[in-house]
Chains A and B, each alone.
Chain A
Amino acid sequence: MRVTANSETCAVSSLCVYRVPGVFDQDEDGLVLVLDESPAESLYEEIRRAARGCPTKSIRVVEDSEVGEAAQAAPAAPAAPAVETADAATGGAA
C-alpha cells in the first residue's frame, strides 16, 4: 500500500493523526504529514478507515494491486489527487 496526503486541502481535523499516529502527523500549522508512505500491512485497515473518515478526503491510498497496475500503465505518477475530485477541487480552490 502507498499512502499520500494533500496538505493543501487538509482541514486540521487531526482524525488521521489520532487513528494511525505512526503514519500520519501534523506540521506546525496542523497540516497533515505522511510519516510512512509504505506502512506495515497490519495497519492497512486502520489507514483505509482514516482515508474514508478524512473530512476533506485529503488522504489517498493506493492498494498494492493498484500499485502494480499503475506501475504498468503509467510508471511515475507522484501524489495523485484525492479519489473524489469534487471535494479536492473545492478544498484546493480555497
Chain B
Amino acid sequence: MSTQTPPRYPFAWTPPMQVPEALRNIHKTSAMEVTLPSGDTATLVTRYKDVRALFADKRLSRNIARPDCARISKDNDLFMDPNIDPDPPEHTRVRSLVTKAFTARRIEALRPYVQQVADQLLDEMEAGPQPVELNEALAFPLPIMVICKLLGVPAEDRDQFRAYVDGFLSVTKLSPEEVGACRQNLWKYLGDLIDSKRDNPGDDLVSELIRVRDDEDDSRLNDHELHFWTQGLLIAGYVTTASQIGTGTAVLLHHPEFVRAIREDWSLVPSTVEELLRTQIMGSSVGTMRYAIDDIPLSDGTVIKKGTSVLLSEEGANVDPEVFECPMELDIRRTENHHMTFGAGLHYCVGAALARMELQVATESLLRRFPNIRLAAPAEKLPRALGGFMEGFTEIPVEW
C-alpha cells in the first residue's frame, strides 16, 4: 500500500451519466483503501465473488458502534447506535418479526394501492404546467405514501416526516447540531406514533410490532428496539426507493432507444428496473460498513485483518466482468442479473420485493401516461445530491 492518501469514497459521478474512472479500475485489486467523508479510512472489497461471500460471513460484524471502527461521517453517527446489536441472534429475532409483512403475497396485495397512488400523482402532474420536477411529482411522494400505509403513518404527516429523514441521512450537508435536531424530531415523532398506535392499534406493521412488544415476554423487543427498527423501516422504505425512481428514470430517459423498446414490449419493465438497480448510479456502499472480528482471507489470498473497517462495494460487484458481460453497458434485456444492490446473505434487504414492485409500477405508469416524456434539461447538467446518504439527482425536469 502506498503512502498517498487513499482515494475519496464514495466515488464521484462526474459527469453524472459516466461511470467514475475509479469504478472502472476497481477490479485490479480485491481490496483497496478508501477515505470516507469523515476522513477515516476503510477497506473497500471490490470483486463480486468476495462481496457476495462476505455479505454472508459471520466474521464481519454489522455492529459498528465500536471505538476503533471507521466513521462514515464526522457530523452524523449514522448506524452507530450502541444500544442496538444488528448481528445475530438479536438481528435474527427482529428480522423474523418484520419479514411477514414483506412476502411476495403481501407485496402483490399492495400493488393495486401503489398503482392507485401512482395514477393519482400522474393525474396531478398532467394537470399542471410543464416542465415538471419528477422527484417532487412522483419519485418522493409515491414511496412515502406506500411506506406510510404499510407502517400506519398518517398520510398528512409525510412532508414533515420527509424533512426529518432528509436531515437524518445527511453525511456532510448539515452541521452536527442540525442533524441532531432532525434526529430528535424524528425520534419524538416516532414516539408519538407508537403511543397513538398503542391506544388505537391498526392493521399495520407498527401496531404489529407493538403487539409483540407488549403481549409477549419482554425479551422479544424492547422499547428502544421498537423505536429504532420502526425508524429503520421508515427510512429504508422511503428514501432509497425515492432516489432510485427519480434517478433511474432520468437514466432511462437519457436512452430514448430503451424507452422505445419498452413501449413495444412492456414485459421489459422488470428487467429494466433490475438493470437500473445494478448500475447503481444513485448510491454508493457507505451503508455496508462492517467490522472484521477475525482475519478474513479473500479469494486471491489477500487477508483482511481483524479490527479492519470494511465496506462491501456493491457497485464494484455489480460491474465485475467475471460475472456481467459488458458490465459498463446498460442492457435492459439482461436475463440473469444477480446484482448486489440489495446485499446478500441473511441481511438481504427485507424491502427488496416492495422496492422492485414500486419501481415497476412507477416506471411503467409514467411511460404509459406520457408517450413523449423526455428530460427537459441536458443530462450532464442534472444536479446531484451531495453530502447525503443517497446521491441521486436533486432536480429532474421532464416534459412531454
Contact = CB atoms under 8 A, between A and B. Distances in A.
B258 interface: no
Contacts of A87: 53, 56, 345
A91 B345 contact: yes
Contacts of B53: 86-87
Contacts of A15: 352-353
A26 B348 contact: no
Contact of A12 (B55, B58, B88, B99): B99
Interface in B88-116: 88-89, 91-92, 96, 99-100, 102-105, 107
B2 to A, nearest CB: 32
B342 interface: yes
B89 A90 contact: no
A52 B107 CA distance: 23
B338 A11 contact: no
A29 B350 CA distance: 12
Interface of B: 53, 55-58, 88-89, 91-92, 96, 99-100, 102-105, 107, 335-336, 338, 342-350, 352-353
Given A29-B96, A86-B53, A93 B58 contact: yes
Nearest to B60: A90
Nearest to A26: B103
Interface residues of A, number: 25
B360 to A, nearest CB: 11
Most chain B CB inside 10 Å of its own CB: which residue of A18, A28, A29, A30:
A30
A49 B350 contact: no
Interface of A: 9, 11-15, 17-18, 26, 28-31, 49, 52-53, 55-57, 86-87, 90-91, 93-94
Given A29-B96, A94-B88, A13 B348 contact: yes
B245 to A, nearest CB: 19
Contacts of A28: 100, 103
B338 A52 contact: yes
A90 B344 CA distance: 12
Contact of A14 (B91, B103, B336, B345): B103
Most chain B CB inside 10 Å of its own CB: which residue of A18, A31, A49, A86:
A18
Contact of A90 (B343, B345, B352, B353): B345
A93 B345 CA distance: 12
Nearest to B349: A13
Contact of B346 (A17, A49, A56, A86): A56
B104 A26 contact: yes
A87 to B, nearest CB: 5
B345 A29 contact: no
Given A55-B343, A86-B56, A90-B346, A29 B104 contact: no
Contact of B102 (A12, A56, A93): A12
A49 B99 contact: no
A13 B354 CA distance: 10
Given A13-B353, A14-B102, A90 B348 contact: no
Contact of B345 (A31, A49, A56): A56
Contacts of A94: 88-89, 91-92, 346
B338 A29 contact: no
The 4 closest A-B pairs by CB, nearest first: A30-B103, A14-B104, A11-B348, A12-B99
A57 to B, nearest CB: 8
27 contacts: A12-B348, A12-B350, A13-B348, A13-B353, A14-B103, A14-B104, A14-B353, A18-B104, A18-B353, A28-B100, A28-B103, A29-B99, A29-B100, A49-B335, A49-B336, A53-B336, A55-B342, A55-B344, A55-B345, A55-B348, A90-B57, A90-B58, A91-B345, A93-B58, A94-B89, A94-B91, A94-B92
